[in-house]
A = this chain, B = another copy of it.
Amino acid sequence: MKDQKKQNWLTQLQDQGYRITDPMKVIVDILSKSDHLLNPTEVYFQAKNINPKIGLVTVYRTIEKMEQSGLIDRVHMPDGCQSFFQSSDGHQHLLICTHCGRAEYFEGEDLNQFFQKIGERFGYHVRDHWLQLFGLCAKCKKIELES
């Protein structure tokens, strides 16, 4: 079940030496269960619903820790780069709904060799790549048709 992931995350964070406070638990809960991209303000409002004491600054600081621990990644989109999403296990790439922010990972073919060759052609040493697909998810396709 989904709480499994939350527990994993908390354990990992604790192993890294971070303290497990209530704001931490709330924010981990939100981000580990979300199937949509979330920006700090969105996390903040969801968190406030659960514990009204939580401040936006704590959200920023907790997100930073989770990012550095490799639990979440910042996701870049044409219209903004403040959103975060659970990071993938292996080498996967993102398919994102530009309307609602829903996201899915898909298996990345192993394009690495191809990328390496392109780099060589220009004298570059390729170290990383980004591949993302943008579109409309099933729900948002419908909404678009109706409007």
Contact = CB atoms under 8 A, between A and B. Distances in A.
A125 to B, nearest CB: 5
A122 to B, nearest CB: 5
Nearest to A102: B124
A128 B98 CA distance: 10
B134 A131 contact: no
A130 B131 CA distance: 5
B118 A136 contact: no
A129 B127 contact: no
A131 B130 CA distance: 5
B124 A97 contact: yes
Interface string A103-138: 010100100001100110111111111111111111
Interface of A: 76, 78, 81, 95, 97-98, 104, 106, 109, 114-115, 118-119, 121-138, 141
Given A81-B81, A97-B124, 4 more contacts: A76-B81, A109-B114, A119-B135, A124-B135
5 contacts: A95-B119, A119-B133, A125-B141, A127-B134, A128-B133
